Amino acid sequence: MSKPPTLHAQMTSWRHDLHRHPEFGFEEIRTAAFVAQTLRGFGLEVAEGVGGTGVVATLKRGTSNRAIALRADMDALRITEATGAGWTSQSPGLMHACGHDGHTAMLLGAARLLAEDGGFDGTLRFLFQPAEEWGRGALAMLDDGLLQRFPFDEIYGLHNMPGLPVGHVETGPGPIMSAEDNFEIVLRGQGGHAARPQAGREVLLPACALVMELQTIVSRRLSPADIAVVSVTELLTDGTRNALPGLARILGDARSFRAQVSDRIEQEMRRIAQGIATLHALEATLSYTREFVPLVNDAALAQEVLEAAATVADHVAQPDQPVTASEDFARFLDHVPGCFAFIGNGEGSAPLHSPTYDFNDAALPYGAQLLAAIARRRLPEG
């Protein structure tokens, strides 16, 4: 009889399979089935369809009535892959450009470790979440009765970090990832012939001025002590080569760590948009939505994760500053305390959300061992 594969080899195989078959948020049908089948192979109790395509597995040992949750995300992005890897995406226009394939493989690896070796007393919930990328998956699982059906006292999660060496772990207390707000400003005027700009109320020049003015919100309207980012990502008009546009749409996002800062950004954005519109005799409307809340680690549990990481990682540290990316893991922290940590994906890694990004398979054992170490530390035997 052949020996079962080593954990690292098995996680690598899982990761490559998941990478070949990426699925967008709430469409993770194959991924969820793969996860559920693998977990049942370890003898875990498995529930599917939680929050749409989410999977929750339960593993119990001993007599303690305490429970903790370990979470991974499963969804991919609408990006065309350009890695050239042997496990390149087979789904055109979709790829795992954020490493969720690696996160899923690491949590499956932790489940195998904990099912085979135990070492804890209590209940473990393994959460495989859909639709993290657009900030709806955690809410969907919560709205589907996650905490009532599968109660837990604490929750932990990991995300890979390009630029951080493999084997390194970083986390800390308090705000560690930002909120994300989305905005769309629409300017309406009257388009016309490019040769006669005086005959209409074109919107392209005012839109360009508006884009520049938005940059003053962070530099001139917010305290230097507050970390914030306002980014315009799209400027769309209904013009053509020889016609001045009568409608312009300016889209983007804003990042911050405090609700008061988010509110101030919206207020300033409305003031600037209306001022530009008045100056150029246009109409302006602003849609401003809050997609992600700040991710705030529990101070005591962050220390627990740092100490657990010290038993498995090559290097453990607190980050120099919060990350201005966002994570809907934060939604779970609105209900129970927990901690989110970063694990190194290598100094030569391409950036997240890049067509050339790929999760580093060398990081898989570190992630699985860290998740298992957290479980054993927070649910100690005896």
Q: Return the CATH number at 159.
A: 3.40.630.10
Q: Please choose, from the candidates 378, 226, 351, the residue with its C-alpha nearest in 3D space to the C-alpha of residue 294.
A: 226
Judge if 21 and 71 occupy the same domain: yes
Asked if residues 135 and 326 have their Cβ atoms less than 8 Å apart, the reply is yes
pLDDT single digits (tens) 18-44: 999 999 999 999 999 999 999 999 999
- Spatial distance between the Cα atoms of 327 and 329, rounded to a whole number of angstroms: 5
Judge if 266 and 224 occupy the same domain: yes
In the numeric block, the tokens 């950004």 are attached to 265
Residue 382's pLDDT band, with cuts at 50, 70 and 90, is confident
pLDDT single digits (tens) 85-135: 999 999 999 999 999 999 999 999 999 999 999 999 999 999 999 999 999
In the numeric block, the tokens 């992630």 are attached to 367
On whether 133 is known to bind a ligand per the annotation, the reply is yes
Domain with 257 in it: what CATH number? 3.30.70.360
CA angle 303, 305, 311 (to 5 degrees): 110
Judge if 243 and 200 occupy the same domain: yes
On whether 100 is known to bind a ligand per the annotation, the reply is yes
Judge if 277 and 312 occupy the same domain: no
How many Cβ atoms are within 10 Å of 161's Cβ, its own excluded? Answer: 23
Judge if 209 and 113 occupy the same domain: no
- Spatial distance between the Cα atoms of 304 and 115, rounded to a whole number of angstroms: 22
Rounded average pLDDT over 172-177: 97
pLDDT single digits (tens) 268-311: 999 999 999 999 999 999 999 999 999 999 999 999 999 999 99
Q: Please choose, from the candidates 363, 365, 344, the residue with its C-alpha nearest in 3D space to the C-alpha of residue 162.
A: 344
Residue 199 has pLDDT above 80, yes or no: yes
Q: Which of residues 275, 292, 309 is at a domain's end?
A: 292
pLDDT single digits (tens) 32-87: 999 999 999 999 999 999 999 999 999 999 999 999 999 999 999 999 999 999 99
**Per-residue pLDDT at 5:** 79
Judge if 189 and 327 occupy the same domain: no
**Per-residue pLDDT at 1:** 45
**Per-residue pLDDT at 381:** 95
Q: Is residue 1 part of a domain?
A: no
**Per-residue pLDDT at 31:** 98
CA angle 180, 185, 191 (to 5 degrees): 155
Residue 207 has pLDDT above 50, yes or no: yes
The mean pLDDT of the chain is 97
CA angle 64, 70, 71 (to 5 degrees): 155
Residue 163 one-letter amino acid: G
Percent of the chain with pLDDT over 90: 98
Containing structural domain, residue 301 = 7-175+294-378
Q: Please choose, from the candidates 35, 59, 57, 37, the residue with its C-alpha nearest in 3D space to the C-alpha of residue 47.
A: 57
**Per-residue pLDDT at 3:** 60
- When divided into structural domains, the chain yields a total of 2
Residue 364 one-letter amino acid: L
Judge if 163 and 41 occupy the same domain: yes
Judge if 329 and 261 occupy the same domain: no
Q: Judge residue 229's burial from the number of C-beta atoms within 10 Å of its C-beta, 0-12 exposed, 13-18 middle, 19 or more buried.
A: middle
Q: Is residue 31 part of a domain?
A: yes
On whether 335 is known to bind a ligand per the annotation, the reply is no
Q: Is residue 374 part of a domain?
A: yes
Judge if 155 and 186 occupy the same domain: no
**Per-residue pLDDT at 2:** 53
Judge if 321 and 268 occupy the same domain: no
On whether 98 is known to bind a ligand per the annotation, the reply is yes
Judge if 20 and 168 occupy the same domain: yes
The alpha carbon dihedral of 371, 106, 142, 180 has a sign of: positive
Judge if 57 and 143 occupy the same domain: yes
Q: What is the 3-state secondary structure (H, E, C) of the chain?
A: CCCCCCHHHHHHHHHHHHHHCCCCCCCCHHHHHHHHHHHHHCCCEEEEEECCCEEEEEEEECCCCCEEEEEEECCCECCCCCCCCCCCCCCCCCECCCCHHHHHHHHHHHHHHHHHHCCCCEEEEEEEECCCCCCCHHHHHHHCCHHHHCCCCEEEEEEEECCCCCCEEECCCEEEECEEEEEEEEEECECEECCCHHHCECCHHHHHHHHHHHCHHHHHHCCCCCCEEEEEEEEEECCECCEECCEEEEEEEEEECCHHHHHHHHHHHHHHHHHHHHHCCCEEEEEEEEEECCEEECHHHHHHHHHHHCCCCCEEECCCCCECCCCCCHHHHCCCCEEEEEEECCCCCCCCCCCCCCCCHHHHHHHHHHHHHHHHHHCCCC
On whether 208 is known to bind a ligand per the annotation, the reply is no
Q: What six digits make up the tokens of 300?
A: 């005591």
Q: What six digits make up the tokens of 188?
A: 């309406």
